[in-house]
A and B are shown apart, each in its own frame.
Chain A
C-alpha cells in the first residue's frame, strides 16, 4: 500500500480542540509534502540499503547506565525478547532482525547523539524508543527529520509524538491516566476531596493535569497539591499534612521509587488506606515490587497493560517471558516495549523492511492486540486508544489485580490533551 493510500485509510476525526485539529492538519501537510518532495527518492535509497543487507537493522536506545538504568534495561529486555521471538519465528522472509542498541544515560544530548548515530552510521530502518519522556522528546525530531519511523514504547509525554509524523507511541498519554483515575475516584467511589502529588517533569505534570481536569469536571476539590523532584523518597512531612487534612483520596504521579516511598510512608502514618491511594503507570516498575513490602495494599494504579489477566496470549507470554529472562514479573517498561516491538514487526510484515514501508504500515494500523489481549485502536495522531487497566495492589500476593479495563473512548482518547501542549 502506498503512503497516500495509507493516509487515506487513516481516520481523521473532528478534533476536540483547535490544537488537535491543527495537529491533524499539520500531520496531513507534512505527509503530503514528504510524498511530493522526495519520499520516492529517499525511500529508494533506503530501500536499496535495506535489501542489500543480510539483516533488518532496528535501533533502540534507553538509559542502560546511570540512575534510570533500571527503566532502560527493562525496556531493552522486553525488546530483545520480542526480537528473539520474531527471529525464532523465521523473521521476515528469512531475514532476521538485528537489534542495535545504545545507552542514552537518560540524557537529552546523549539521546540525540545516539539516535543520529544509529540512523547515519548504522542505517537502521526503524527505531524502538526504550527511553523516558525527556530523552524521547529530544530524540523524536531527529528520527522524524530523517524519516525513520520510531515507536515510543513507554514514554507518556504528549511532546514525544506531537508534531513528529514519523513517531508513533505504544503507551497512553500521561494526562489520560490522571483523567481516568479522577473519573474513577469521583464517579465510582464518590470521593470529594483530593491531595495531588506531582513529580515535576513532563510525565508527572501530564498525569496531574489530567487528574485536575477530571476532578474539576466532577465537582471534586483539590485541597492540597505538591510538586516533588524525580526520585524523591522523603514524604513524611507531606503525608503528615495530608493526614491532617483528611482527604478522601491521594493521586500521585511519579516514578516507581517515589511511589514506593510514598506508599510506605502513607501506610506507616495511617494516611492509607483511610484515603484511597491512586498512582500512575510506573506502579509496575521493578522498584515497586522490590520495595513496597507489606505496604500499599489496595492502592489503585492506572496501568497500560496487566500481566495477570486470564487471556491465553497473556498467560503464554508471561510464562515464556519469565522463563526465558528469569524475570519475576513483567515490568511496565518490559511489557510496553515488547508490545511496541510486536507492533513494529507486524508493520514490517505488512509494509516491508524499509523505513518507508514500515512507516506506511504503522500509519495504516487500525488496531493491534496488546499483551493483555485487548484490541487497541489507533488514532490519526499516531497514538493508541489504549484501555487503562485500573488495578488494585494485593500486598499478600504481591501483584496487581484488575479492577476494570477502562475502555470508554471519552476517557482514554489522547486527542483532547494535545491542546495543553504547545
Chain B
C-alpha cells in the first residue's frame, strides 16, 4: 500500500512539474527567439504575456468561446509585439544594447500601470467552466487546466518546429539568428524576419498568459513580474538564444521547483530557490545548458 502511495505521489509531482515547466517554456521560448535575432533582453515580454492574459479574458467574456479567446489574444498580442519591435527596439538598434534593455524595462513598468488603469487594481477571475474539474486516476489528479496547458504547449512547439524548419519564413529567421549581416547580403528581409519572431514570440507568451490565468483563475496587473525574470533566467540557463536550451531549462526549472518546494528544508521561497539554482549553474557552466563556449 505504501509503495502504491509513493508511486502515486511521484506521478502527481511529475504532473505538477510538467505543468509548471510548460508555463515557463511558453514565456522562455519567445524570449530566446527574440534574443537570438536581436541580442536584446526583452524584459517587456512579460508585459506582453500579461496583456495576452487580459486580452484572453476580454475575448472570452465577449464571445464565451475559449478557442476564440485564445486565438484572439494570440493575434492581438502578436501585433503588439510587432509594434514594440518597430517603434521601441528598431530605432535603438544602432545604439549599445543597454539602451534597448533600459527601454524594455521602462516599457514593462509602464505596462503594469496601464493594466491597472484600464482593468483596475483587483485580481480578475478567469473562470472557464468547460475546463473546470479534474480527472483522478490511481491517486493522480490532472486538472482540465493541466490538460489544456500540456496539450497547448505540445501543439505550439510542434507548430513552431514546423515553421522554423520547413517554411521560408523559418529559414529566414534561422539565417537572421545566425548572422544578421550575412542574412542581409543573402537578400533576406531582415526586418520582416525580426517582426515574424516578435509576432510568434508574443503570441506564444499570450497563450501562456491565458493558460496561467485559467489555471489560477486569476489575472492581475503584475502577473508578469515573476515569469519575466524567470524567463530571463531560463534563456541564460538554456544558453543565450538557444530555443531548445530554453525549453529544456524551463522543464528542469519546473521539476527543480516542484521537488525543492515540497521536500527541501531550504528556508527560501520557490522563486528564491530558482534564482539560487541559476547562480550555481552559471558558476559551473557560464554558457548555459546548450550554449556554445
Contact = CB atoms under 8 A, between A and B. Distances in A.
A261 interface: yes
Q: How large is the interface on B (under 10, 10 to 19, 20 to 34, 35 or more residues)?
A: 35 or more
Interface in A60-81: 64-67, 69-70, 73
9 contacts: A67-B221, A233-B216, A236-B20, A238-B261, A241-B263, A260-B218, A269-B134, A290-B125, A294-B132
Given A227-B267, A238-B261, A291 B113 contact: no
A268 interface: yes
Interface string A38-65: 0000000000000000000000000011
Given A240-B16, A269-B141, A65 B125 contact: no
A286 interface: yes
Top 8 A-B residue pairs of the complex, sorted by shortest distance between their CB atoms: A69-B121, A229-B269, A237-B262, A236-B16, A237-B258, A241-B262, A287-B123, A67-B222
Interface of A: 64-67, 69-70, 73, 200, 226-229, 232-234, 236-238, 240-241, 244, 257, 260-261, 264, 268-270, 286-287, 290-294
Contacts of B132: 293-294
A228 B271 CA distance: 9
A293 B217 contact: yes
Interface string B235-264: 000000000000000000000011101110
B216 A237 contact: no
A270 B137 CA distance: 13
Given A227-B267, A233-B216, A257-B220, A69 B116 contact: yes
B12 A268 contact: no
A410 to B, nearest CB: 32
A66 B269 CA distance: 21
B287 interface: no
A264 B16 contact: no
B143 A268 contact: yes
A261 B9 CA distance: 20
B263 A257 contact: no
Contact of A70 (B123, B127, B225): B123
B130 interface: no
Given A236-B19, A291-B216, 7 more contacts: A70-B122, A229-B270, A240-B12, A240-B16, A264-B216, A269-B134, A286-B123
A346 B122 CA distance: 32
Nearest to B16: A236
